Chain A
């Protein structure tokens, strides 16, 4: 069965033949962050793919990953293209280096996971929160429930982690 839902007013759909995304987002619905781990080379990958980007092996198992990482770069959006986000401007899209597999298999590679900056409750972050986050900020994953089979993973500031004194922010 295809999975459908609505998130921030946006219609979402995963087709019943899209096994990778069905699995990924079903785990999210259980508030578990799981990624495919290649059975041959043991490297994790994101987003879901049919074969391993490093060794082309199609066999993988879904393993639980700690949803923690560091902001590698960010996009601070002041003009919404997606109408659902117009009322949340400015909002942040974060590119987060997972702690797991950071710098592997080569120095500049990492599993980099996209998500919005949200409050611990999953609301898109208010402006004063947006201004606190930049490259180097420590974040943890939270899930926005959409349906029994679908939740959207997002990022919130990890208040338990040691934060940089001044995360890198766009000047001005």
Chain B
């Protein structure tokens, strides 16, 4: 990246004034055996410890959920944190980067100094993200008559209209989309904490059972029990923290298409929210897609990665299928994507895990199987064969692209501090 191209003279956008200084997770399992309160406590505790802070250093907390979690006040109390600010919002994917923006805002407003953002979910054992179980048979009321009465209710069923139309409009193929899973599975094979570490082929994806066209089973993410957390604070305070900070260059939060509804009245439906979000994310960051070293494009489905990379401008409109399948986003490629294996393989987190992974990439410290040297630092081999390294060389700038629906989502650019 050539720093000479960066316009860092727009303080209203708070570019480079805040950083992510700590990251933490629970295990990724299908059967946590823990409450969301316990899971969340572990993740938040781990993130604070990772930052080199104590619970008493944290005085703000934000979380998001689908009413399937435990709120900030409980998690904070369990860790002895006195909060000067907290808020728990409704929402799933597409909330993560938006909440980082809110964290920056409340610190800037003087309401608190250091904010933890977390998501805790038993996405497999309690609240199935795909909508099976008790939610599926609940009575259909009001606006639901226009949706669930048609057996049209899960994210895959809802989004599939957009994915199919993209194939129609641009000739995107099932084989191209399958490459997202193939590449993410390669990355997961180098991630000891991933739920699914096995590498798969395009044929494996296409031969897995059809869920809803164009999504085979392996085009869909893995419902998982987990909690994830990050610590956001000012760059000044970040100097006292343990790791190299991931400095936040810009965020865009829950940006929408002109009409946000789930009936796709506003077209072209094969263009998603990212087409609009890019005009906020890149100018505020002072960089564009070409400067990004590593991406984290939300993979609820293979197609969500493809559509976001395309509409954020990593390739020409309509070329997303080519982009995701030409090797660009593979470890060792020009711009690796979702190096942890993310939602399709590591486990579904509603987005925070992909921010955590990029923070670790920027620290040059991803938690792969490479040996830890005498200085306590991992000695990365950059050998990306199965079971090997997943650290990308010389990561300076990353982008997270957070899908909520085709009509809304969030994004964030970070750089190495």
**Interface set of A (CB-CB < 8 Å, partner B):** 7, 10-15, 18, 21, 25, 45-47, 53, 72-85, 88, 91, 93, 95, 108-116, 135, 152, 154, 168, 170-172
Main secondary structure of the interface of B (DSSP, over half): mixed
Contacts of A13 in B (CB 8 A): 139-142
Select the residue from A82, A93, A108, A171 with max chain B CB neighbours within 10 A: A82
Q: Give 19 A-B pairs besides A72-B264, A111-B265, A112-B263 with Cβ atoms closer than 8 angstroms.
A: A10-B148, A13-B139, A18-B142, A25-B145, A46-B265, A73-B161, A75-B160, A76-B212, A78-B211, A81-B130, A81-B151, A83-B136, A93-B152, A108-B268, A109-B267, A116-B150, A152-B150, A170-B167, A172-B174
- Bound together, the chains give a CA A81 to CA B294 distance in angstroms of 35
Which residues on the B side are within 8 Å of A171 (C-beta)? 173-174
Question: Can you list 24 A-B pairs with a CB-CB distance of less than 8 A?
Answer: A10-B148, A13-B140, A21-B145, A46-B265, A53-B259, A53-B265, A72-B161, A73-B161, A73-B164, A75-B212, A81-B154, A82-B153, A95-B263, A108-B266, A109-B265, A110-B267, A112-B263, A112-B265, A114-B147, A114-B263, A116-B150, A135-B165, A170-B174, A170-B214
**Minimum distance in angstroms from B330 CB to a CB of chain A:** 25
Known A75-B213, A81-B153: A47·B263 in contact at CB below 8 Å: yes
The verdict on A84 contacting B151 (CB below 8 Å), with A75-B157, A93-B157 known, is yes
Which of A10, A72, A81, A154 makes the CB contact (< 8 A) with B140? A10
* B290 CB within 8 Å of chain A: no
User: What 0/1 readout, one digit per residue, does chain B (236-279) give for beta carbons within 8 Å of chain A?
Assistant: 00000000000000000000000100011111110000000000
Q: Does B137 contact A (CB under 8 A)?
A: yes
| Complex Cα spacing A64 to B152, Å | 26
| Chain B contacts with A in 143-186, Cβ cutoff 8 A | 143, 145-154, 157-158, 160-162, 164-165, 167-168, 173-174
- Contact partner of B168 (CB less than 8 A), chosen from A21, A80, A135, is A135
Q: Please give, as numbers and ranges, the residues of chain B lying within 8 Å of A53 by CB-CB distance.
A: 259, 265
Q: Are A116 and B162 interface neighbours, CB within 8 A?
A: no
- A47, B131: Cα distance in complex, Å: 23
Query: Would you call B212 and A114 a contact (CB within 8 A)?
Result: no
B151 lies within 8 A of A82 (CB): yes
Asked if B211 and A152 sit within 8 Å, CB to CB, the answer is: no
Q: Which residues of B contact A14 (CB under 8 A)?
A: 141-142, 145
Q: Given A12-B139, A12-B149, A81-B131: A76 and B265 within 8 A (CB)?
A: no
B174 / chain A contacts, CB cutoff of 8 Å: 170-172
- Which single residue of chain B is at the shortest CB-CB distance from A152? B149
State how many angstroms separate the Cβ of A77 from the closest Cβ of chain B: 5
| CA distance in complex: A59, B204 (Å) | 54
List residues of B (110-158) whose CB comes within 8 Å of A's CBs: 130-132, 136-137, 139-143, 145-154, 157-158
A81 pairs with B213, CB closer than 8 A: no
Assembly CA distance A45 to B259 (angstroms)? 12
A109-B212 in contact given A11-B139, A14-B141, A171-B173 (Cβ < 8 Å): no
Rounded to whole Å, the gap between the CB of A154 and the closest CB of chain B is 8
Contacts of B139 in A (CB 8 A): 10-13
Interface centre among A11, A95, A171 (most CB of B within 10 A): A95
Contact A78 B209 (CB under 8 A): yes
Q: Which residues of B contact A74 (CB under 8 A)?
A: 161, 164
Chain A residue, CB-CB nearest to B133? A81
Is B145 in contact with A152, judged by CB distance below 8 angstroms?
Answer: yes
Using A108-B266, A171-B174 as known contacts, say yes or no to A115 and B150 having CB atoms under 8 A apart.
Answer: yes
**Given A10-B149, A47-B263, A77:B141 Cβ within 8 A:** no
Q: Give the chain B neighbours of A80 by CB distance below 8 A.
A: 151
Nearest chain A CB to B294 CB, angstrom units: 32
